[in-house]
Amino acid sequence: MKEKRFLKIVGTALLFVLGASCIEKKDTNNSMPPPTTKVESEIVHPKKPLSDEFKQYWYAGNAEITSYVLEQARYGELRDGHAVLIYVTEPFLPGKQVKADGKDPDNISVLKLNLTKKFLTGIYPYSIMGSTFYPVHDNQHAIKTSLSVQEWCGHVYSQINNRNNFEFTSHSYFENEADQKMEMEKNILENEIWTKIRINPESLPLGQLKIIPSLEFLRLYHKEPKAYDAEASMSTKDGITTYSLAYPELERTLRINFADAFPHSIESWTEETRDGFGTNAKQLITSAKKIRTLKTAYWGQHGNNDLFLRDSLGL
């Protein structure tokens, strides 16, 4: 009887530990604010002309796919994985804020970026994907940006729609995040920087700025979705330009390294931030380094005989 009672206690304790493993520690100061009441329309600037070089590269009927070897900070440790940036132009409906199925006078041509990451945290995998739709004429904010994160504890989704103001929506399996909907004052989106680099790096914002951090960062670190003070700077060496965003309050610095020459390919990036919980938290650097690039119409390459193309990307 004593042995059975002991096994029952051990089993109960084990179940408690397993259940607790999916409880993430929250920043209690990051409760969601009420919806913004002041709404100001965005000024849409005149369209910037597209060069012949730009048209030939981005309107050739292919996507640009670039693979990266990834070291991702998570739970106070660096995790090995890989990332992929997929850039492609497509027609976008500003009203519905989705890809257009056909020609429409209201369509806006956007350069879409799908950024994916895959890595392991111990026994279970993480899968992250962010999508940003930025007008090729570089005359307004991204029309939409979204994020999904999947891992064995559950999955979450968040999105910012650019309408009269920024409309933020989020769905999470965590109790104190759950389903959220709020409005934000328009500011620079970190997510749109990655596409702006590819279109017109000369127009990148510099100096003291207000920037809304990436949806990925806000989600993984449970930060309030809002604009934070940041300092943006740019330097060039040996044909590579580094664009840096430093957020003092967040103890975070993002550096994106891209080629000076068109099409301004992104060669690598680093993200330094405080990662981990409590006394185990430390400054860690997430990094990604380019493996190779492939220009191809991937959406038609979904057969088993197309699997070899992943080898071409080192995946």
pLDDT tens for residues 248-268? 999 999 999 999 999 999 999
Residue 76 and residue 280 in contact, taking contact as beta carbons nearer than 8 Å? yes
Q: How confident is the model at residue 183 (pLDDT cuts 50, 70, 90)?
A: very high
Strands 207-212 and 188-189: parallel
d(CA 288, CA 273) in angstroms, rounded, equals: 15
| pLDDT (0 to 100) of residue 22 | 59
Q: Side-chain half-sphere of 120: how many Cα atoms within 13 Å?
A: 4
Above 90 in pLDDT, residue 155?
Answer: yes
Residue 225 burial (C-beta neighbours within 10 Å; 0-12, 13-18, 19+): buried
| pLDDT (0 to 100) of residue 105 | 87
Q: How confident is the model at residue 278 (pLDDT cuts 50, 70, 90)?
A: confident
Tell me the C-alpha to C-alpha distance, in Å, between residue 39 and each of 42, 184, 257. 10, 8, 35
What is the overall mean pLDDT for the chain?
Answer: 88
Above 70 in pLDDT, residue 4?
Answer: no
Q: How confident is the model at residue 7 (pLDDT cuts 50, 70, 90)?
A: very low
| pLDDT (0 to 100) of residue 249 | 97
Q: How confident is the model at residue 233 (pLDDT cuts 50, 70, 90)?
A: very high
Residue 31 burial (C-beta neighbours within 10 Å; 0-12, 13-18, 19+): exposed
d(CA 97, CA 99) in angstroms, rounded, equals: 7
Single-letter amino acid, residue 40: E
Single-letter amino acid, residue 180: Q
Tell me the C-alpha to C-alpha distance, in Å, between residue 178 and each of 75, 127, 186. 21, 20, 24
pLDDT tens for residues 105-143? 889 999 999 999 999 999 999 999 999 999 999 999 999
Residue 131 and residue 112 in contact, taking contact as beta carbons nearer than 8 Å? yes
Q: Of 73, 65, 67, nearest to 287 (Cα)?
A: 73
Structure tokens at 168: 């933020």
Q: Where is average pLDDT lowest: 17-31, 96-110, 229-243, 258-272?
A: 17-31
Percent of the chain with pLDDT over 70: 86
Residues 6+ apart with CB under 8 A from 194: 85, 113, 115, 132, 256, 266
| pLDDT (0 to 100) of residue 43 | 65
pTM value?
A: 0.86
pLDDT tens for residues 25-80? 544 444 444 433 333 455 667 888 899 999 999 999 999 999 999 999 999 999 99
